[in-house]
A and B are shown apart, each in its own frame.
Chain A
């Protein structure tokens, strides 16, 4: 088995601040994802990466940057946090590009004051 570790679990920032969320997986999976989860809106894809140093934009990439410097890690940066923004950011991984099982971390909850 494996695990996806997201840090930090809770992140509080100020408006306009640049904030970075980190994700590590030990499944040795090729593909990693960042989703944003808002109440009542389901999960929306921000960025994904099919291999080390690859980055692909999802539907919600504006206002975010991502980095995949190692196969095991995938970080997400909120480039300028918006006031009153509150969401859970979920990292996930799976092997390959086919419709296989996606494994999720437990999330980072972001609050912007």
Chain B
């Protein structure tokens, strides 16, 4: 079956520090990979997605590279702000799979000024 692993349950940083969230996945074929972000009191929203293996996606200063060789999709940001505090989900999607997406457990990022 499909699975997504996020090993870090929580990350705590100061503003302007570098953020790295580890994500690996397991599936067959070529999935679409996403990062969703959830702010307090809201539902998750799309941060970025990559549909093609070995491509990079970026949004709002965040980047992630779809690495088919290592089955990874790590998220990084060079310099975080307090407003980046949220839960980040690595997510796997399969074309023509109506049952939706496979979510990782999420990583809670807390950024302090």
Contact = CB atoms under 8 A, between A and B. Distances in A.
Interface of A: 4, 31, 33, 40-43, 45, 48, 50, 56, 58, 90, 92, 94, 97-99, 101-107
B104 A101 contact: no
A72 to B, nearest CB: 17
Contacts of B103: 42-43
B89 A42 contact: yes
A105 B38 CA distance: 11
B41 A106 contact: yes
B106 interface: yes
Contact of B43 (A58, A101, A104): A104
25 contacts: A31-B98, A33-B100, A40-B9, A41-B105, A42-B103, A43-B44, A43-B89, A43-B103, A48-B98, A48-B100, A56-B99, A94-B100, A97-B98, A98-B96, A99-B32, A99-B51, A99-B94, A99-B95, A99-B97, A99-B101, A102-B100, A104-B44, A104-B45, A106-B41, A107-B43
Contact of B105 (A42, A90, A102): A42
B77 interface: no
A32 to B, nearest CB: 10
A92 to B, nearest CB: 7
Q: State the majority secondary structure of interface residues on B.
A: loop
Given A48-B100, A104-B43, A104-B45, A99 B106 contact: no
Nearest to A6: B43
A86 to B, nearest CB: 16
Contacts of B97: 97, 99
Nearest to B44: A104
A101 B9 contact: no
A43 B32 CA distance: 18
B46 A98 contact: no
A67 to B, nearest CB: 18
B10 to A, nearest CB: 10
Closest 3 CB pairs of A and B: A104-B43, A99-B93, A97-B98
Most buried by A among B42, B93, B98: B98
